[in-house]
Amino acid sequence: MTKNIETNPLIDRLPPHLKQFIKPQNYELYTAQDQAVWRHVMHKNVEFLSKVAHNSYLDGLKKTGISVDEIPSMYGMNRILKEIGWAAVAVDGFIPPAAFMEFQAFKILVIAADIRKLENIEYTPAPDIIHEAAGHAPIIASPDYAEYLRRFGEIGSKAISSSHDHEMYEAVREISILKEIRSEQKNQTLEEKIKNAEAEIERLQNKKVEPSEMSLIRNLHWWTVEYGLVGTLEKPKLYGAGLLSSIGESKSCLDPAVEKRPYTIDAAYQDFDITSKQPHLYVTPDFAHLSEVLEEFANTMAVRKGGHRGLQKLINSKSLGTIELSTGLQVSGVFTRMIKNEDNEVIYFETSGKSALAYREKELISHGVATHNKGFLSPIGKLKGINLAIEDMGPRDLQAYNFYDNERIEFTYESGIRVEGLNVTGMRNVNGKLMLIQFTDCTVTYQDEILFSPADGILHLAVGKEIVSAYAGPADYHSFDLVFHESDDKMMKPKPSKREQAVHGLYQKIRDYREQDKINEPLLQKLKVEILENFPEEWLLVEEIEELLE
């Protein structure tokens, strides 16, 4: 297999900040033991899931190019996924939730290239190729579900995170890595690290913080895409990837002891524990209902509501975000301050550091980070004593209120914010609404505070009555350099011990026998005895031999 990243047109059009997470699959690094783990899980699952999974599961395995006998290659998957309008990329374990959502919006399955170890064969908290490929991929053969997945990514990528979300993401990522380390390499130091990681997750889970949009929509993702059931409460079918890829939980989830709840927006407020089996699950009557709940939740998000609450979420996130004004002007940056009036309407906002202005997700010419490298600020709202909003003023209206280019003007907002300076020019949007006015030698004051002075340079006044939308990330991803170095704590790939190398050699020998169709019964029986004496923990290797003997 090639080490190059296999591609298709959907992958080619990805922005750089998503491409940074893609890595070559390096198929040749999978051991014969890895292949045996895949075969065991898939044979067990397909046999059972054919009776209890959603009816698109078996057909989906074929449509997505997934074999039950060998780990799928990205090349094969992309060649076949292309026919249903999707693609797949390999990544190194966990990636940030916002990036994961964006990949979905581009109709791309994110597949962790690693595969679970033998001791975690029934379930692993770490993302692996069994979970991602055999769990997520088959159900996208259902058009309704595929559209839900795409739409979820589109909405989820706009959800605003918090600093607490980032801490939780790093903690869950760490424990999943630690728990996936091979048993032979486990020692007292590692056990102590696992104990500390579990304690950190418990501390974060018990921390009283207001849930962010990202944490709420991540809950919806968990209870549908990962652990969803479909059909009736009495006889549900499995469709969540976590269930479809877990030998143990695919069976135990149907036990009456696991509470089945009707799927509603309430699932957004139900937390989950990634390290243990779920005590309850949600059942949707059909995939169309998933989209209805998603839209219901989207109506509560800042991307649709805007206002002071949306802006406050961005300020609390301390991360790159965007607000859109009623004129369509989009301001992207790290928001640090706002001023509200007595009606809780935003009358002024500020960003710090590199900022950019855009319209319809396209950066305005000369308004990128080079121009606004120290931040952006502006009052917004209606002018005092004037019924007509600034954005609705045509050239004659502006002259009627003494707004002349290259002349000094002075005006006051209803909020009391006062602007005085040399009016240079204005910029209108495609619908003719004024959305930006440029001033020099300008002073902006509010009560006893100077918000902007001539020493601050050119004032680019944002025009708009209100904030209609607020969301995570930039309006135009080309405006910012979003490519960054990965976390130092990368997925661990320790060098196998001599004992493990010997075990891998035995797995390879059995795999060669199978592929060459050479069934030498005395030799296989001798190998079986040798394994039982020297490697008693390798039950899967014994199972592989017994399968050949049969």
Over residues 490-504, the pLDDT tens digits come to 444 567 788 888 999
Pick the most confident of 56-60, 225-229, 248-252, 398-402.
225-229
Pick the most confident of 9-18, 89-98, 346-355, 405-414.
346-355
Range with lowest mean pLDDT among 41-50, 56-65, 154-163, 486-495? 486-495
At residue 434, the pLDDT reads 93
pLDDT at 209 over 90: no
Report the distance separating Cα 188 and Cα 541, nearest Å: 28
Report the distance separating Cα 526 and Cα 515, nearest Å: 20
pLDDT at 60 over 80: yes
Report the distance separating Cα 468 and Cα 452, nearest Å: 25
CB 532 within 8 A of CB 542: yes
At residue 180, the pLDDT reads 62
Range with lowest mean pLDDT among 141-155, 173-187, 385-399? 173-187
More confident residue, 515 or 297: 297
At residue 405, the pLDDT reads 79
Tokens 């993302």 identify what position? 127
DSSP per position, 391-440:
GG--HHHHHHTT--TTEEEEEEBTTS-EEEEEEEEEEE-TTS-EEEEEEE
CB 77 within 8 A of CB 132: no
Q: Which residues contact 479 (CB under 8 A, 6 or more apart)?
A: 332, 356, 358, 363, 368, 369
Pick the most confident of 98-107, 386-395, 487-496.
98-107
DSSP per position, 253-270:
TTSTTSEEEE--GGGGG-
Q: What angle do CA 349, 355, 358 make, to 5 degrees?
A: 90
Q: How far is CA 130 from the centre of its chain?
A: 19
At residue 233, the pLDDT reads 96
Indicate the fold that domain 303-479 takes in CATH: SH3 type barrels. (2.30.30)
Report the distance separating Cα 484 and Cα 21, nearest Å: 10
**End-to-end CA separation in angstroms for the chain:** 31
Range with lowest mean pLDDT among 192-196, 271-275, 428-432, 483-487? 483-487
Residue 131, classified by CB atoms within 10 Å of its CB into exposed (0-12), middle (13-18) or buried (19+), is buried
Report the distance separating Cα 398 and Cα 434, nearest Å: 10
CB 349 within 8 A of CB 311: yes
Tell me, what DSSP letter sits at residue 161? -
Strand partners, 460: 438
Tell me, what DSSP letter sits at residue 6? P
Report the distance separating Cα 308 and Cα 344, nearest Å: 7
Task: Tell me what the mean pLDDT of segment 69-79 comes to.
Answer: 87
Task: Tell me what the mean pLDDT of segment 520-524 comes to.
Answer: 87
Residue 500, classified by CB atoms within 10 Å of its CB into exposed (0-12), middle (13-18) or buried (19+), is middle
Tell me, what DSSP letter sits at residue 383? B
What's the one-letter identity of residue 541? L
Tokens 């559209």 identify what position? 147
| b/e burial code for range 374-394 (CB count within 10 A of at least 16 → b) | ebbbbbbbbbeebeebbbebe
Total Cβ atoms within 10 A of residue 137: 25
CA diameter of the chain: 102
> Tell me: the pLDDT tens digits for 309-338?
999 999 999 999 999 999 999 999 999 999
pLDDT at 184 over 80: no
- φ and ψ at residue 513, rounded to 5 degrees: -60, -45
Report the distance separating Cα 135 and Cα 129, nearest Å: 9
Q: What is the mean pLDDT of the chain?
A: 89
DSSP per position, 434-470:
EEEEEEEEEEEEETTEEEE-GGG--EEEEP-SSEEEE
CB 434 within 8 A of CB 393: yes
Q: Which residues contact 140 (CB under 8 A, 6 or more apart)?
A: 60, 64, 84, 86, 109, 146, 149
Task: Tell me what the mean pLDDT of segment 426-435 comes to.
Answer: 92
Task: Tell me what the mean pLDDT of segment 341-363 comes to.
Answer: 97
H/E stretch holding 147 reads: helix 143-156
What's the one-letter identity of residue 237? K
Tokens 């209100």 identify what position? 466
Which tokens is 197 given?
């990681």
- φ and ψ at residue 365, rounded to 5 degrees: -60, 130
Tell me, what DSSP letter sits at residue 491? P
pLDDT-above-70 percentage for the chain: 94
> Among 347, 412, 417, which Cα is nearest to 384's?
412
Interhelix angle 56-63/32-52, nearest 10 degrees: 140
pLDDT-above-90 percentage for the chain: 55
What's the one-letter identity of residue 472? A
CATH annotation of 9-294? 1.10.800.10
Strand partners, 333: 321
> Tell me: the pLDDT tens digits for 210-257?
889 999 999 999 999 999 999 999 999 999 998 998 888 888 999 999
> Among 261, 88, 100, 253, which Cα is nearest to 172's?
100
Q: What angle do CA 422, 426, 430 make, to 5 degrees?
A: 175
At residue 199, the pLDDT reads 85
